[in-house]
Amino acid sequence: MGRFLLGRITGAGIVLLLKSFVIFALIGLMPGDPLDLMMNANPETTPEQMAHLRAMYGVDLPITQRYWTWLVAALQGDFGYSRIQHRPVLDIIIPALGNTLILTGAAFVLSTTLAVTLGTIAALKRGTWIDRIINLFAFAGISVPSFWLGLLMIYLFAVRLGWLPAGGMPRPEQGFGGMLAHLVMPVMTLVIVETGGLARYARAAMIEVLSQDYIRTARAKGLTDRRMLVRHALRNALIPVLTLVALQLGGLFSGAALTEAMFAWRGMGRLILEAILGNDYNLALVCLMFVTATILIANICADIAYTWLDPRISLGKRRR
């Protein structure tokens, strides 16, 4: 296990390094650079001034050299300044990360729990009206675009009923209640959209497991339905579901850009969008690196969870 983890973390480090160069190069390839924007803002800049500025910011150097400079600084913990906000990149990213994690984390926990529960119930009540209603809900969730759902909720709960704030971040003095009020709509939007697919998947996995011989054995043993379900069926059904959950976990920091934009939630999704649109090299680069890192970490977590759920899978070492 220790060796496996070490190997995977080293691998993740290499992927991260390669990815940083690719992102750096891609951003370099984007049309225009920060100085073009500067020039647009002040049409009286002379070409000599421009050349001087380019040399000063290092934009005239070849991309490999620029990358090397960035990497050396980054490895020392200096990720540079945001061009737009004139603040160190990390000072901007860390609060955004926190905000996103609150939003997507809550949605993730809720949607996963809900999906597994609904999928299990649908599988157990297969073919009945309960199954049909759950399926209908799942398909509705899959089909409904999140921006439409979000707007509908804003109209209903914020504009019409006035129960909830239409968007934005809670002020610190509003405390936990304020946080909750601001979270309800974006979290609901994410949960409804994410639950459908996962619930369908959990249902299929559960139906598959319930037809297995060992479930017949469990029934022949005279186990209670509850024990059969929890001890024998659920654990086996969760193995395939875990793959999908791991993918969603990877999207925790980036997957909610649209929802964040709609509810003016100051999270990572929105930050990435703003950084790219504003040609904010340093900010976009580090944001995208964080997203990559999350996906890599989620994959490692999924591998560990697999061994925990399924003893037939062992990580790098021979079993007994």
Which of the residues 184 through 243 are near other proteins (CB under 8 A)? Answer: 212-214, 216-224, 227, 231-232, 235-236, 239
Instruction: Please state the closest distance from residue 310 (CB atom) to other proteins, in A.
Output: 5
Work out whether 38 is an interface residue with other proteins (CB under 8 A): no
Q: How many residues bind other proteins (CB under 8 A)?
A: 24
Continuous segment of H or E residues that includes residue 181: helix 175-210
Q: What are phi and psi of 33, to 5 degrees?
A: -135, 175
Work out whether 126 is an interface residue with other proteins (CB under 8 A): no
Tokens of 166: 């239409």
Which residues, other chains included, contact 290 with Cβ-Cβ below 8 Å and sequence gap of 6+? 93, 97, 253, 268
CA 89, CA 78: separation in Å to the nearest integer?
Answer: 9
Work out whether 317 is an interface residue with other proteins (CB under 8 A): no
Instruction: Please state the closest distance from residue 83 (CB atom) to other proteins, in A.
Output: 53
Tokens of 82: 């945001």
CA 196, CA 235: separation in Å to the nearest integer?
Answer: 21
Continuous segment of H or E residues that includes residue 94: helix 89-124
Work out whether 162 is an interface residue with other proteins (CB under 8 A): no
Work out whether 294 is an interface residue with other proteins (CB under 8 A): no
CA 157, CA 163: separation in Å to the nearest integer?
Answer: 6
* Cβ nearer to other proteins, comparing 33 with 131: 131
* Cβ nearer to other proteins, comparing 36 with 225: 225
Q: Which stretch binds other proteins (CB under 8 A): 146-154, 163-171, 199-207, 304-312?
A: 304-312
Residues 179, 170 contacting (CB under 8 angstroms): yes
* Cβ nearer to other proteins, comparing 160 with 312: 312
Residues 195, 141 contacting (CB under 8 angstroms): yes
* Cβ nearer to other proteins, comparing 192 with 241: 241
* Cβ nearer to other proteins, comparing 236 with 294: 236
CA 18, CA 22: separation in Å to the nearest integer?
Answer: 6
Instruction: Please state the closest distance from residue 198 (CB atom) to other proteins, in A.
Output: 21
Instruction: Please state the closest distance from residue 312 (CB atom) to other proteins, in A.
Output: 6
Contact residues toward other proteins (CB under 8 A) are 212-214, 216-224, 227, 231-232, 235-236, 239, 309-312, 319-320
